[in-house]
Every structure is written in structure tokens, then in C-alpha cells.
Amino acid sequence: MSTAFSLAPLFRSSVGFDRFNDLFESALRNEPGSSYPPYNVEKHADDQYRIVIAAAGFQEEDLELQVEKGVLTVSGGKRDANESVTYLHQGIAQRAFKLSFRLADHIEVKAAALSNGLLNIDLLRVVPEEAKPKRIPINGAQQPALQH
């Protein structure tokens, strides 16, 4: 019995999904270490989202946000250890991390703020006018001619 499956039915009813293969592969990929630090993805309205990352022990200068090719990358660098402090127990992790979030089309990062150990990243869907749905009138009286 074969475990292979066909994606042909998906492609029959879709047009222009050039990035579909990339999205499918990234969904199947299991990236180790992506659970640190913990984070939430919140929806506040139809077009407003927020990513909240628990960044305890990090300061603003330790964190970096970058958007490239539809991927938001959040990274935190490890600060130099304080030589004058001896930890009897160190439960607040300050190790370096890198989180990546694939953004849907028309999603923009609007703001980022670090408050009370939480990094809040506000996202907004800004759909351009040409991408919004538009009503197409049906002309029953005349037959449109296709031009080549």
C-alpha cells in the first residue's frame, strides 16, 4: 500500500499560488528549538493581530525584529554575563533565540513594544484597493468579444 498522496485536486481549483509549495513544506517541517521563548498569537479584530513573546530578562537592545520576504524574524541575543554575580539558581533563561513567523499577504508590522517582560508586536492587514473583492456586472444583452 502506498502512502503517497496527490495534490492535484488542490491545484485544479486554484490559480496563482506560486508559494503554495513553500508554505506546504514549512508546515511539514519540524523546527527544533522553536518553542523558546513561549509566545501567543492573538487576533484583536478582523484585520488586527498581535504576537506576544515572553522575553523575560531581555532589554530592548537585546532584541531584533526583521521582516524579509513575508517572514517576520524575532531574535534575542545573550547578554554578557555579569562577573560580579554568582547565581545560586538561575531560572530566568537568557539564552539566545530566533523565532520566525510567516506573514500572510498584506500583513504589515505596525509597532513593537517591550513592557513587563513581554514583547508585543502589532500586526495589521492592509489590503490594497485592487486586491479587494469587486462586483462584476453581467451583461445579458450583448456578447463580449475576446480580443487576441
Boundaries of domain holding 112: 58-77+94-128
Check if the beta carbon of residue 76 is closer than 8 Å to that of residue 62: yes
Give CA–CA dist 55/118, Å, rounded: 5
3-state secondary structure of 110: strand
pLDDT at residue number 68: 92
Q: Is residue 8 part of a domain?
A: no
Question: What is the pLDDT, as a whole number, of residue 16?
Answer: 45
pTM: predicted TM-score of the whole model, two decimal places: 0.65
Report the pLDDT averaged over residues 3-28.
Answer: 54
| Mean pLDDT of the 77-93 span | 77
- Grid cell of 104 as nine digits: 500572510
- Residue 125, number of CB atoms within 10 A of its CB: 15
Predicted confidence at residue 32, as pLDDT, reads: 52
Is residue 121 in some structural domain? yes
Mean pLDDT of the chain: 78
Q: What is the domain-level CATH number for residue 111?
A: 2.60.40.790
95-134 pLDDT, tens digit per residue, is 889 999 988 888 899 999 999 999 999 999 887 877 778 8
Domain assignment present for residue 70? The answer is yes
Given this model, what pLDDT does residue 13 score? 47
| 63 found inside a domain | yes
**In the chain, % of residues over pLDDT 90:** 31
Q: Is 103 inside any structural domain?
A: yes
Q: How many residues does the chain have?
A: 148
For residue 1, the model assigns a pLDDT of: 56
User: What's the pLDDT at 60?
Assistant: 92
The count of structural domains within the chain is 1
